Structure 1
Amino acid sequence: MPMATPRCRREAWMSDHGKVADIGEPLTALDGRSTRIGTRWSPGVVVGVVRAVDLAILVATGVLAYLARFGSVSLGHDELIAVVLIGPVAANVFQAAGVYGAEALSDSPTQARKSVLAWTATMLIVVLLGYITKTSEQYSRLWAGLWFLLGGFGLLAFRAVLAALLNRAGARGALTQRVALLTSPGLLSDARRLAGHLADNAQPGVELAGIFTVAGTDAGGTEPNVAGDARALLRKAEANGVDRVIAVLPWSDMDALHETLEPLRAVNVDVDLAPPALDERLMGRPVRQTLGVPAINLMTRPLSGWDVVLKRAEDYLIGTVALLSASPLMLLIALAIKLESRGPVFFRQPRHGFNNNLFRVYKFRTMYQTQQDLAAERLTVPGDPRVTKVGVVLRRTSLDELPQLLNVLKGEMSIVGPRPHAISAKAGGIPYREAVKEYAHRHRVLPGITGWAQVNGWRGDTDIVEKIEKRVEHDLYYIDNWSLWLDLRIIAITLLKLSHRNAY
């Protein structure tokens, strides 16, 4: 039997629904269908414009501040470098802070707050770079202060205008992406499950236009939650009522699949093909071109490309400043340890780090030398006789962790990350690896001096399995949601929680 041509297939779709225009024949307004390209705004274009305006505001306010301070717009050499440098620094910081995320753009207060905080962080980084390169004294503090204030006001003013524009665009549907599902009767349950997933994980500006079947009934038929058949979908697309179609169709006959979708080439819509097995674990996973082959990405390195560079720069910068600043205190701690008990100042313990490789973590010794437990076979408890008097103070204030700044500078650890555990550590008498199935997933990034689990209270002893489960849960959240902004937030919270009650 010869394969139906695209024209025949489209005519089959549209049969019994009155005269329709052939492919290539223009539709008229009398058809009741749109004859214009939709005026919806592309999210990518919106973000690109916002980025460009942000950069223009920061550069312009830098020049304006210079004019207010010196009465000229002709920047000096050093000021020109600062204004040029602000672009790439702000671009990375604003991105890391989530300023350009869909949720942030759709929420005006969140957008304003994140923008100001990101601008503050940008200025602090530029000032810190000036301090490190010993050029900070060459800048006028009044100029820098004016720039910071004008830049902040400029960003807030733009956000107010942006919110008004987005609200108007949203009111007329210019920001709404209408998604329809096209399926076969045999896969209707899969399509409904996908629709439920889209509803549960709704993205700003995304609207479900309905479920349509290749061979089924029109809207109002016997199948619940079905908007109509393929002919109804085509009419809806011609009226600019659909922007994207997700096909939930069998992959067993690819020729038939392409033939089924061919009529959609006549309308201005994006068409995606859902995987043959709509497993919940595949939901939300990106599809990529892998060596020229389209494939569903199941696992991704937590950090890659510029994220790695940014993370290591953060570690070296903060690690160096922290080590230099803490050196006098570390010398006093070392002296106190030597005066109280015999033995080395540092305690070097093997622990699992990046990619599950062993390394030796540095800590100030907090136990008597003869009582040290390299493998952590025994948990420390309140009043533990193995812990020295100095050790009690160090553990309670986390100052015993300061030598790990050396691990950071060696590239074995990060300032922020999942805490490295001793190789024989147990929870309720069960090794961590056996207690939590996902435990090893923590080793996909460098271990840290502090982490998301620690600032949320999940630190100290693990006498029950639930405690290590919560630690791992928080560690995996950090890995999946890493950003420079999250790191800075964790560092700030850590500094406020130097004294705690869960360590002995």
Structure 2
Amino acid sequence: MNAPFAPRPVLDHAQVAEGHPIAPSLERRRLQCYIGIMVGDMLAIALAFALSGYLFGDVGGTARSLVHAQVVIPIFLTLALYNRSYSIEALRNMWTGVARAIVAIVLAVAVAVFVQFLIKPTYGFPRLSFNAGSLFALFFVSLMRYQMRSLVRWRCGSVVMNELVIDDGGPKVSFPGSIQISAAAMGIVPDLRDPNALDKLGLVLRNIDRVIVSCPVGRRAEWAMMLKGANVDGEVLDDVVVRLGAQGARVAGQHGLLLVSAGPLGMRDRAIKRLFDLAFAGSAILALSPLLIVVALAVKLYDRGPVFFVQRRMGRGNRFFNMYKFRSMTQDLCDADGNQSASKDDKRITPIGKFIRKTSIDELPQLFNVLLGDMSLVGPRPHATGSLAGEKLFWEVDLRYWQRHSLKPGLSGLAQVRGYRGATDHESDLVNRLQSDLEYLEGWTIMRDIQIIFLTLRVLVHDRAF
């Protein structure tokens, strides 16, 4: 039985606005638990085979059994990763983790036996010590996972994830270990036409793994759209789910929950993407540092104004961040809100600015945004809140616009390599970009990111950069 999760204090909206999260991030703590359990599994398997070699082997049996362990362990880890032996479900329920680990061990042993049969080692195959080592591994891994419960509870608590319930006037609900807040008290309004409302919701949802909204029927659609761009598993309370026995929905207690949003990438994919971003951006900054210094000096010496143009843009989870570019316009005429797109003969652009915009050099300071974690190398391009497509703000053209913020914005993206860049004089200019961004979200792979980066190199100089 899991111990009850202690109630956690809830901050008011002023504290959240100051940057204080409602709950500490459990994602990093879960990762620590995964690593700890993984190391424990490897040690348990090595100990099992070493003990078997010592008890049942001949001279040198322990060393030979450890060789068998070296064969079994990598196969086990591969299978364990794929059958989710290291997952939230495994952390939350010890027996789920034990069962999945046992399955991975059995399959790993079977593969090891098959490998031994194929290579036919000259020293012979000590069946007794190998079989005993396999049985010991089942026992030691199960025992280790039982002992690791204390680590999981210490780092993550008994519920393992941060679950937030937002009360917006719907039925009163309470789930064990969840954090409860009032939308009215926190000043949260499901207004898709107000970027500040989206940013406020993004601040509230920071470090949250799952959010449940209880609201009247008439506001469910608005909440669903708000959550789709929040990079979080989002559910809307609907007790009709219970009565209908709906498939693809969740029932918790006596309440039905409709899943309306989910983060596009799991932890493993996010880790891969982040490591790639850090490696590429760090290397690019070092390689391009002479160019960055020369451009910075040229911008500064031209009119003695600031080197960088800093603009607030919408990022992952519909939260604002400051994006950096080399300043390409005269200081007095810089458009901080992006209400006016640059045109081909724009008088605001300096001679140096015209060159760096034409060659996309003005975008290079965003490599520092990548290192800071505000941006990624590849993703939907971040837009200024005042950007217009024709006569309408971007989100007024299509409310699906907010969904593109479920991933970090990128230096380049699928829309850019397809040629959808530059001024948005017509609504269709925004629609084409949005369609490409949503397509990117639905089918992310690291190989696709690499492909987009190479394709970006072909369009660095383009006729729509002005």
Which TM-score applies when normalising by structure 2?
A: 0.46
Which TM-score applies when normalising by structure 1?
A: 0.43
Relative contact order higher in (CA < 8 Å, ≥ 6 apart): 2
